[in-house]
Chains A and B, each alone.
Chain A
Amino acid sequence: MNSLILAEHDGHKLKPATYRAVTAAQRWQSPVHILVVGHSIAAIAQEAAAIHGVARVMLLDAAALAHPLAEDVADLIVRLSRAYQVILAPHTAFGKNVLPRVAALLDVAMLSDVMTILGPKTYVRPIYAGSVHVTVESADTVQVLTVRASSFAMAATGNGAPIVTLAISAETSPATSYGVRWLGATHNVSGRPDLVSARVVISGGRSLGSTAQFQAVLAPLAEKLGGALGATRAAVDAGFAPNDIQVGQSGVVVAPELYIAVGISGAVQHTAGMKDSRVIVAINHDADAAIFQVADYGLVADLFEAVPALTEALK
């Protein structure tokens, strides 16, 4: 039996999370196939074929799939599922949208945000905003799971796996028959590295006070360190930062080499998304802030003075 990974890409490039999912899939020691769905994505299939540990790339390239909908992707995976004992995807908005649908159609349970794969059916995953880790064993014959990208290393490249082109007719689209239509999307272009795989993440909280200050204070430091920007829910809710950079229980989980928390109180819902970073720095003017409990280096200071000084000192 084989393992199937649902590839994550942005229409141009494979997302780093996919390389990490390949590492996770090696745990089953069975051939790993990657499914790439989209339109005009031959180059992305080539990228997938180059990942070490991939035995086959399955490519479905169709105009109707330019913006793949969960209803269609889930249906496709279910049609391919007979050959697979493991179906996995990175725990991203895309994977989270599709895989529960697959699991329900296959009548199996699903494991979300898996951090450790202990055995072919045994996993460790976070519950209660990561304050508790649970070890669970599945009773199902097919394993459907999303994996936490930051818990698995990037797979290496240099492989040349075969690419199999799937031909599926567009008239069998469940999304169309259910009356689901893609209308549009907005993309936040930052020009900075991908948040989930960045080596350095600089995150700001509500205390930054405005969108302008969020950028003026944090961006130069991110620029200096080649890092990505992150934010708390409070900062996103206040409109200082876009929703897709929210770090935490209901946002994304990151584990960079260096995480700098600026003016962040340290609620568990936030630390759920960053406490596995290798080195954590916290800058907060309240010496009692909970963020200092997870920090390797804490600095009690006004962020509006400390952050520009830090950027300057790193020059």
Chain B
Amino acid sequence: MKILVAVKRVVDSNVKVRIKPDGSDVDVAGAKMGINPFDENAVEEALRLKERGLASEVVAVSLGTAACQDVLRHALAMGADRAILVETDLQLQPLGIAKLLKAVVEREQPGLIILGKQAIDDDAGQTGQMLAALLGVGQGTFISALEVLDGEIRVTREIDGGTETLALRLPAVVTADLRLNEPRYVKLPNLMLAKKKPIQTYNAAEFGIDASPRLKQLNVAHPPFRKPGIMVNSVQELVEKLRVEAKVV
């Protein structure tokens, strides 16, 4: 079974994102970039399945500018066999990404497709479900465990109030929660080796798919600051403030 893993290039989770002076967009020029954390869990899960003899090949795919090669190299250094870059300068949104991923799936015919549950830049959490819908296959979202059986998988999903277990016939789409696994560290020699692994590049236009944005960004802003608080010196003072000032207890 071949596994396809979608990896997005995003601003590192530790970066404090700035806003352009005109408020039109975020300013991420020069910011540290990397693989979306949830997608690292997705790659890790695919590699573990391969290492247990349950998958034959792990293919990483990323959509965006040529800069996305760095996250594909990261996936290759973790152990992915090969990588695909779908290159475009278009501002991509989940629906367009799902359409382009569908075209990749049709070419590659993977048995299992793993995405992250959300990208930490747009925080949309949509692409996996959209891809499953477009492919006409089942979906297992926000998964924290995955088991491969004969022709199907069993997944544990993190839901409100607990967990849920589903069986999905393959091919299927799943989206990884951070609790799915602990991604391995990439060792330097592997990063060197990854440079030799192939990255196949398509121009997104080749697919003849309309992936243009449907949502227009009007402006961005930092949320209003909370009014500065105070430090109290004792539990007694805290209770006093909560009773008299905040009137909340």
Report whether B230 and A179 are in contact in the complex, using a CB–CB cutoff of 8 Å: no
Q: Is B159 in contact with A93, judged by CB distance below 8 angstroms?
A: yes
When the two chains form their complex, are residues B124 and A297 in contact, meaning their CB atoms are under 8 A apart? no
In angstroms, Cα B241 to Cα A298, docked, is 11
Cα(A187)–Cα(B159), bound, Å: 9
Q: A138-B215, A243-B158 are in contact. List 8 more A-B contacts (CB 8 A).
A: A96-B129, A101-B132, A107-B95, A109-B215, A136-B216, A180-B167, A181-B166, A183-B167
Task: Say yes or no for B192: interface residue by CB 8 A criterion.
Answer: no
Report whether B133 and A101 are in contact in the complex, using a CB–CB cutoff of 8 Å: yes
- Give the complex CA separation of A294 and B227 in angstroms: 8
B-contact bits for A257-293, CB 8 A (1 contact / 0 none): 1100000000011000001001111000000000010
A-B contacts at CB below 8 angstroms, number:
251
Interface 9-mer from A35-43, A120-128, A163-171:
A120-128
User: Is there contact, CB below 8 Å, between B217 and A296?
Assistant: no
A178 to chain B, nearest CB (A): 4
Q: Are B129 and A280 in contact (CB under 8 A)?
A: no
The interface stretch among B55-63, B76-84, B139-147 is B139-147
In this assembly, does B229 line the interface, its C-beta being within 8 Å of a C-beta of chain A?
A: yes
CB distance from A201 to the nearest CB of B (A): 12
Chain A residues engaging chain B, CB cutoff 8 angstroms? 10, 67, 69-71, 74, 92-94, 96-105, 107-113, 122, 126-140, 174-175, 178-188, 200, 225, 233, 236-237, 242-244, 249-250, 252, 257-258, 268-269, 275, 278-281, 292, 294-301, 306, 309-310, 313-314
- Establish whether residues B94 and A100, one from each chain, have CB atoms under 8 Å apart when the complex forms: yes
User: A180 and B242 in contact (CB under 8 A), knowing A100-B125, A112-B125, A135-B218?
Assistant: no
Interchain Cβ contacts under 8 Å between A and B, 8 examples: A70-B141, A97-B142, A112-B125, A128-B11, A132-B221, A174-B136, A244-B162, A313-B235
Q: Please, what's the 1-or-0 string for B210-249, where 1 marks a CB less than 8 Å from any CB in chain A?
A: 0000111111111100110111111110110110001011
Instruction: Decide if the interface of chain B is mainly helix, strand, loop or mixed.
Output: mixed
| A136 to B215 CA separation, bound complex (whole angstroms) | 6
A265 → chain B closest CB, angstroms: 13
For chain B, the count of residues having a C-beta within 8 Å of the partner chain is 81
Most chain B beta carbons < 10 A, residue from A236, A250, A252: A250
Verify if B164 is at the interface (C-beta below 8 Å from A). yes
Is there contact, CB below 8 Å, between A314 and B249?
A: yes
Q: Given A131-B16, A132-B221, A243-B144, are A182 and B164 neighbors across the interface (CB < 8 Å)?
A: yes
User: Known contacts A184-B164, A296-B230, A310-B235; is A110 also within 8 Å of B249 by CB?
Assistant: no
Contacts A128-B121, A134-B220, A137-B216 given; does A313 touch B93 at CB 8 Å: no
Closest A residue by C-beta to B155: A183
B154-187: CB near A (< 8 Å → 1, else 0) gives 1001111111111111001000011100000000
A225 and B249 contacting across the interface, CB-CB below 8 Å: yes
Q: Which residues of A contact B157 (CB under 8 A)?
A: 93
Chain B nearest CB from A20 CB (Å) reads: 14
> What CA separation (Å) do A199 and B123 show in the bound complex?
26
Contact yes or no, A249 B120, CB < 8 A: yes
Partner of A129, one of B120, B133, B163, B215: B120
B69 within 8 A of A: no
Q: B239 contacts A313, CB within 8 Å?
A: yes
* Residue B134 CB within 8 A of the other chain: yes
Q: How far is the CB of B153 from chain A (nearest CB, A)?
A: 10
In the complex where A10-B161, A71-B139, A257-B248 touch, is A112 in contact with B222 (Cβ < 8 A)? no
B163 touches A133 (CB 8 A): no
Q: How far is the CA of A101 from the CA of B131 in the complex (A)?
A: 8
Q: How far is the CB of B177 from chain A (nearest CB, A)?
A: 7
CA distance A104 to B94 in the complex (A): 9
* Interface contact A108-B95, CB-CB below 8 Å: yes
* Alpha-carbon distance A200/B121, docked complex (angstroms): 30
Asked whether, in the complex, the Cβ of A313 is within 8 Å of the Cβ of B236, the reply is: yes
* Complex Cα gap A52–B229 (Å): 38
Docked pose: A109 CA to B217 CA in angstroms: 13
* Min distance, Cβ B232 to any Cβ of chain A, angstroms: 5
Q: With A and B bound together, what is the CA distance between A252 and B158 in angstroms?
A: 12
The 4 A-B residue pairs with the shortest CB-CB distance, nearest first, are: A179-B169, A100-B129, A109-B214, A104-B130
**A306 surroundings in chain B (CB, below 8 A):** 235
- Residue in contact with A243 in the complex, picked from B121, B163, B221, B233, CB distance below 8 Å: B163
